Amino acid sequence: MRNMTLASDIVNTLVARKNCEKSGNVEWREKWADRLDSLVSELPSGGGFDAGTTLDEDKSGPTRLVFQTSFHHMNDGGMYDGWTAHTVTVVPTFTGLDVKVSGANRSDIKDYIAEVFVSLLSSPVPAALPC
């Protein structure tokens, strides 16, 4: 099996699950859904992304991935002092991934969020994940 990035595996798994849904193949739809849950669990959770990250399956497909996340901010004293909500849209390009982050840009957080997502989604799929 070729090395696949997390982003491409999420896309392939999502498309396979949707195809099974259309064809009525309940058994494989569930298998693909479980795989998709495992892949999405690799996305940011903790380290400021304290509410985790979810895949917006309705807005995602073969040409883009859309994620919902939020960031838990700290003040200069190290105390949590609020949240910002973000939509992260990822589109493949010939040179990598184009990532757009919506939401408030408190403390220039959108650049950091984009960097985290590019790094994770460009990485190989963790070997420990079930196939």
Q: What is the 3-state secondary structure (H, E, C) of 22-63?
A: HHCCHHHHHHHHHHHHHHHCCCCCECCECCCEEECCCCCECC
What is the pLDDT at residue 1? Answer: 44
Residues (pLDDT < 70) of the chain are: 1-3, 127-131
**65 CB-near residues (< 8 Å, 6+ apart):** 7, 10, 11, 55, 89, 90, 121
Q: What is the pTM (predicted TM-score) of this model?
A: 0.90
Q: Dig out the tokens for 12 from the structure.
A: 């392939």
CA angle, corner 22, sides to 17 and 27, nearest 5? 55
What is the pLDDT at residue 131? Answer: 59
Question: pLDDT averaged over the chain?
Answer: 93
Judge contact between 62 and 11, C-beta under 8 A.
yes
* 85-97 pLDDT per residue, tens: 999 999 999 999 9
